[in-house]
Amino acid sequence: MPAPLTPAIEPVGADGFTRRERVWLDQTIKHMAELNDLLAERGSPRRYGIGPEAPPVEPGSETTGLWQVANNAVAWLNATNLPGDHETAMRLMKLAEEAGEVMQAYIGMQGQNPRKGKTHTADDVAAELCDVILTAAVALHQFTDQPAATLDHHMRRVNHRMKQASSDHGN
């Protein structure tokens, strides 16, 4: 059996990988892309990635839509963290943390803390609300394979109830 290649035998390139590691990684990335294409073809929102960094999102591209960014975040988290009840709990706790950051920004915008004064703006509150929406979209993936359709269905029900309540009150 041949001796395994080591950095002493095979030099590490500028990207931090040996040639053999780079070939393996490139093949794995290609297979992961093929898997994501197959998942997309059957309508699954699940996407998988490799490595500790989230897939890049180009500002202004189609990948900046809520569900694409949420899918990217889910793929990143799934590739980085072990799946299971603990990970689900962490994603739900992250949602609660983000909601707390909305309140912190709102309190800061109002200057409610006399020791600190006004520390935030309406833009800060809006950004924190956006974080809540994205974090909720990521968490929703834990409970359905069709999070966008699930949200759309729920929004239709809420809209129907609002119309019904409006007509019940003569509006």
pLDDT, tens digit (0-9, with 9 covering 90-100), for 105-142: 999 999 999 999 999 999 999 999 999 999 999 999 99
What pLDDT is stored for residue 171 in this prediction? 66
- Answer whether 0.85 is exceeded by the pTM: no
Q: What are the residue boundaries of the structural domains of the chain, listed by start?
A: 19-168
Q: Give a three-class secondary structure readout of the chain.
A: CCCCCCCCCCCECCCCCEHHHHHHHHHHHHHHHHHHHHHHHCCCCCCCCCCCCCCCCCCCCHHHCHHHHHHHHHHHHHHHCCCCHHHHHHHHHHHHHHHHHHHHHHHHHHCCCCCCCCCCCHHHHHHHHHHHHHHHHHHHCCCCCCHHHHHHHHHHHHHHHHHHHHHHCCC
Q: Is the dihedral of CA 79, 81, 85, 88 positive or negative?
A: negative
Mean predicted confidence (pLDDT) in 46-58: 53
- Given a cut of 50, whether residue 70 has pLDDT beyond it is yes
**How many percent of the chain have pLDDT more than 70?**
82
